[in-house]
């Protein structure tokens, strides 16, 4: 059993079975804080869109946009938690990084509506869709769907079909009431413009924008997180201010949360009861890559293989890279090109077009990060 820290001020060294953490879970990415600060306006806009659902009507659709680490997912999770506690509304958040096809999205909706997973094979999309809508009509329930990181559906060319099915559900199945919240973290993605015209004609969402946190807001949020996660006296004000400064440089609050946890681990490695500024600065060298790590971890095996190939053939032409990739995967050029485009949109790969004598226009592929940083995280 791990002991908490001693109250003896003379005992400034941490024992092997002691810890600086009060609750380490507070620093995990999926933790939903009890107090959600500096997003009051955005929460009110989302509540406005969903208010009709409380009355049993189909809610307004919403589009939540903003850079990574600005509180978009947490806002929706907090809102869904309130709805489940106070109403009979069904809420399902789908992580599109993991569920990147229309079928897998609706599999998660089935699970949310029926409380068990659909069969892994032998059930068509139409049947899956019909069972979901029939249950909603039978129980007279409203379903609110959040497509989190919807940009991944665009990367797989699945966004229009998925949204079309959701938005047209009430026409195909009279009485089905489904509202959609799309959440995008890709600042370059123009969600409406990229959708098929058939979807654009019915998708008129309320837009809710989450801007980057200011350094003062970051400090306020991290102070609250540190208070819950560390024992008293572990983090001083000057350390928190340095962490907030580093976090503001990255623009991603998740970097700061991860940084605090790693800084705490660094202090424990030194058997120290307090976190130093150096602990935080050392932690930043790893925490600043948290966005890269998450993107790499959510890639398929073939996508990760292409990243490895590009790392070994950095700067080479797409055709030459494909030759090596094809030897390892047997995938065709069309799928290869789709993966390259996805990796570029994720900011993992950069492409540069050039005129190649005798071959016309071609593009060179290179990693957007140092190869060692990418490969280390691929093998984590």
Residues in the annotated binding site for ATP: 70-74, 213, 225
- Tokens standing for residue 244: 């907030």
- State how far the Cα of 91 lies from the Cα of 84, in Å rounded to an integer: 7
Strand partners, 132: none
Report how far residue 224's alpha carbon sits from residue 22's, in angstroms, rounded to the nearest whole number.
13
In the annotated binding site, the residues are 70-74, 213, 225
Q: Which residues of 69-90 are buried (b: 16+ CB within 10 A; e: fewer)?
A: bbbbbbbbbbbbeebeeebebb
Pairing mode, strands 349-356 and 177-184: unpaired
Interacting residues of 5 by C-beta distance below 8 A, sequence separation 6+: 14, 18, 19, 20, 231, 234, 273
**What strand order describes the sheet that includes 142-148?**
90-95, 142-148, 177-184, 62-65, 206-209
Separation between Cα atoms, residue 348 and residue 61, nearest integer Å: 31
């Amino acid at each position: 059993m791990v002991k908490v820290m001693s109250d003896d001020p003379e005992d400034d060294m941490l024992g092997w079975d002691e810890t600086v953490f009060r609750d380490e879970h507070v620093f995990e990415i999926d933790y939903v804080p009890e107090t959600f600060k500096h997003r009051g306006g955005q929460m009110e806009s989302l509540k406005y869109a969903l208010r009709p659902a409380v009355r049993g009507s189909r809610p307004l659709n919403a589009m939540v946009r903003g850079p990574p680490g600005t509180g978009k997912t947490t806002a929706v999770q907090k809102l869904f938690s309130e709805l489940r506690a106070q109403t009979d509304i069904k809420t399902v958040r789908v992580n599109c990084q993991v569920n990147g096809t229309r079928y897998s999205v609706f599999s998660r909706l089935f699970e949310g509506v029926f409380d068990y997973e659909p069969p892994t094979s032998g059930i068509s999309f139409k049947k899956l869709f019909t069972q979901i809508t029939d249950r909603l009509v039978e129980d007279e329930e409203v379903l609110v769907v959040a497509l989190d990181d919807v940009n991944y559906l665009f990367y797989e060319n699945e966004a229009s079909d998925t949204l079309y099915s959701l938005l047209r559900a009430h026409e195909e199945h009279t009485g089905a009431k489904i509202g959609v919240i799309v959440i995008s973290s890709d600042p370059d993605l123009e969600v409406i413009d990229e959708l098929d015209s058939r979807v654009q004609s019915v998708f008129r969402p309320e837009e809710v924008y989450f801007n980057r946190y200011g350094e003062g807001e970051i400090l306020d949020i991290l102070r609250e997180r540190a208070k819950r996660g560390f024992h008293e006296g572990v983090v001083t004000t000057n350390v928190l201010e340095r962490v907030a400064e580093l976090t503001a440089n990255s623009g991603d609050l998740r970097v700061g949360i991860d940084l605090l946890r790693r800084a705490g681990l660094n202090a424990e490695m030194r058997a120290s009861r307090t976190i130093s500024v150096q602990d935080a600065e050392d932690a930043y060298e790893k925490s600043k890559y948290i966005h890269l790590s998450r993107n790499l971890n959510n890639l398929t095996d073939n996508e990760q293989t292409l990243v490895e190939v590009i790392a070994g053939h950095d700067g080479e032409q797409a055709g030459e890279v494909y030759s090596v990739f094809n030897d390892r995967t047997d995938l065709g050029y069309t799928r290869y090109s789709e993966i390259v485009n996805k990796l570029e949109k994720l900011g993992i790969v950069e492409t540069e077009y050039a005129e190649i004598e005798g071959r016309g226009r071609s593009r060179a592929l290179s990693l957007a990060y140092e190869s060692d940083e990418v490969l280390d995280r691929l093998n984590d």
